[in-house]
Amino acid sequence: MKKTLIVIDMQNDFISSALGTKEAQAIVPNVKKKIKEYEARGDEIIFTQDTHYENYLETNEGKHLPVEHCIINTNGWEIADGLEVEKCQYIHKPTFGWMHWDWNDYSFKEVELVGLCTDICVVSNALILKATYPNANITVDASCCAGVTPESHKAALTTMKMCQINVIGE
Ligand SMILES: [Zn+2]
């Protein structure tokens, strides 16, 4: 059965730059290992990239979080070194959750999410995927995710479990 790994926003600004945390830095080797496993099996891998523009501070997100990050084509917007995979999809995502997981009659059966931040973009996309594909098995590997704080990371994992998303790696 086709398996899909979705790597959420593993971008420099969320790891080492504007909004980086030591928790985000700590998961990079785990995420790298996970990507290699999917690559070795020939499974599908999709990356998302949080994508903003010069007007970020005037956007609604910018008013709530006045820290410029992931401005398109800057180093902070790039996927962290060593994680990128050739020949896979890179989704430039303007909002926390991507609203087009059903594009091209896309069908997801086994989906695993990893990346940043557990409590914002991972939970948003996991819940959108669950709503779009209620019969899909959706898994989040907690050892490959980090939140804005360790507490909000845990709270998001609890929310996802309540919504029948499999949480592994705790
Ligand atoms: Zn953002």
pLDDT band at 8 (very low <50, low <70, confident <90, very high): very high
121 CA distance to ligand 1 centroid (A)? Answer: 9
Q: Ligand 1 centroid to 165 CA: how many Å?
A: 24
**Strand intervals (E) in the chain:** 3-8, 44-50, 89-93, 110-116, 137-146, 166-168
Rounded to the nearest angstrom, the distance between the alpha carbon of 50 and the centre of ligand 1 is 5
Q: Which residues contact 168 (CB under 8 A, 6 or more apart)?
A: 139, 140, 141, 142, 143
Q: Ligand 1 center to residue 94 CA distance, Å? A: 7
pLDDT value at 105 more than 70? no
Find the 56 Cα to ligand 1 centroid distance in Å: 9
Confidence category of residue 104, pLDDT binned at 50, 70, 90: low
Query: What rounded mean pLDDT belongs to the chain?
Result: 96
123-144: pLDDT as tens digits: 999 999 999 999 999 999 999 9
pLDDT-based confidence at residue 2 (cuts at 50, 70, 90): confident
Between the CA of 116 and the centroid of ligand 1 the distance, in Å, is 11
- Looking at the predicted structure, is the pLDDT value of residue 121 above 70? yes
- CA separation for the pair 79, 134 (Å, rounded): 30
Whole-angstrom Cα distance, residue 54 to residue 39? Answer: 35
Predicted local confidence at residue 27, as pLDDT: 98
Q: How far is the CA of 41 from the centre of ligand 1 (A)?
A: 32
Could you tell me the distance, in angstroms and rounded to a whole number, from the CA of residue 69 to the centre of ligand 1? 6
**pLDDT exceeds cutoff 90 at 107:** no
Q: Are 44 and 2 in contact (CB under 8 A)?
A: yes
Q: pLDDT tens across 9-30, in order?
A: 999 999 999 999 999 999 999 9
**Distance from Cα 79 to the centre of ligand 1, integer Å:** 14
What's the predicted TM-score (pTM) here? 0.97
